[in-house]
Chain A
């Protein structure tokens, strides 16, 4: 059946089999291979994408036909051209990855988390990321990265809100 989805701001019209999972649609039909496939059974979280701006979902456990008419954000949608998103910069600065396989899912889950809770505690970050597995880092630097990103985004928002001196 034919579906229309907006991914990272670009509208795509594609014909899909109903049994095509969203993760495979993104990777194989759209060529967006930043979304990874790991456990393939909703356990590991490497396939997380953000739907309609605020909901993190595991794209291996959703059919592409369910995304018809929706907006999807993948890891490719985070950076603005050459400028990294504060989350990406923070993962770089804090060394929040080793092999990098879990990173797209970590970034997208963190993106949705900070959207709902801009100033999370360490416990809230750990709870929020508890559906995403990392076998390399021990999570310590991932948590630090999310804390840095929250601070950066918070400071940027505060600077924008500050009245201009006359």
Chain B
């Protein structure tokens, strides 16, 4: 299982990478962590004629907090997030995801932005990004644009990054005041694709009602899926057991998984509901509230 032959170029800066992308267009792919791209190339599911390696770009692995956002550069590795002190207190959803992506060795190389760009239907980061309403900064020869995650995730293995463009960074809103999140995932073993997954991100208003709510599930359709009906149920309401149960039921209803060795359609739909329920419970616990 060897990849098809390709031309290899190293980019020493983002400008160099963009110039190479302009030169090679749709024939080129960006190589960051490579933990999804290289296996895909080995299975010949991907056959890029040109690889542009951005690993030599010195300052692209940044993890910046402040101004209400957590900003992750294109080379920010999952393992680097795991090592940020106190991240679990400030960004519990992000910290939780970074600890369950693939396995600990794969996380040494794998990147958050690369995972979003790969847009595997069972990937972890797209689910968390949807729930927390992240943005992706995309750079091309024509300039830089900021894409909302809902517009970024176009279809399975397809994003809004056009030929000649690259994703430069991901921006996750920072919890301010009473905001929290939670990620839940069922996998057969460490490193397997998710059987089902769910992310919740919510903030509380002063009167104890939900102000903002984000709910998303993974492995439940062509891409990570926002559960709009569940969000609408909770927004502006105080959390009650019945309401949280109804929101979880909406997730089970909306989930559109495929049957495979990990489970039947009925099982995976049920698990989407169960995991949204658990993620809602986890979020409420972190918000310091008890649903009655």
Contacts and interface: CB of A to CB of B under 8 A. Distances in A.
Interface of A: 1, 17-19, 21, 40-43, 45, 48, 55-58, 61-63, 65-66, 109, 127-128, 130-132
Given A18-B8, A42-B39, A131-B106, 14 more contacts: A19-B6, A41-B1, A41-B39, A48-B105, A57-B109, A58-B106, A61-B34, A61-B38, A61-B106, A62-B38, A63-B38, A109-B104, A130-B104, A131-B190
A101 B38 CA distance: 23
Interface in B115-151: none
B190 A130 contact: yes
Contacts of A109: 104-105
Contact of B42 (A40, A45, A55, A131): A40
B108 A21 contact: no
B61 to A, nearest CB: 13
Interface in B26-69: 31, 34-35, 38-39, 41-43, 51, 53, 55
Contact of A131 (B6, B53, B103): B103
Contact of A63 (B8, B103, B108): B8
Main secondary structure of the interface of B (DSSP, over half): loop
Interface in B184-235: 190-191
Interface centre among A41, A45, A61, A63 (most CB of B within 10 A): A61
Contacts of A21: 2, 38, 42
B103 A65 contact: no
Contacts of B53: 65-66
Contacts, number: 76
16 contacts: A18-B5, A19-B2, A19-B6, A19-B41, A21-B42, A42-B39, A42-B106, A56-B108, A61-B35, A61-B39, A61-B109, A62-B34, A63-B34, A63-B38, A128-B104, A130-B103
B102 interface: yes
A87 to B, nearest CB: 16
Nearest to A128: B104
Contacts of B103: 45, 130-131
A52 to B, nearest CB: 11
Contacts of B190: 130-131
A27 to B, nearest CB: 14
B242 interface: no
Interface in B87-125: 102-106, 108-109
A144 to B, nearest CB: 20
Nearest to B43: A41
Interface centre among B3, B34, B103, B190 (most CB of A within 10 A): B103
Nearest to B55: A66
Interface centre among A18, A21, A65 (most CB of B within 10 A): A18
B4 A42 contact: no
A133 to B, nearest CB: 9
Given A17-B5, A62-B109, A109-B105, A131 B35 contact: no
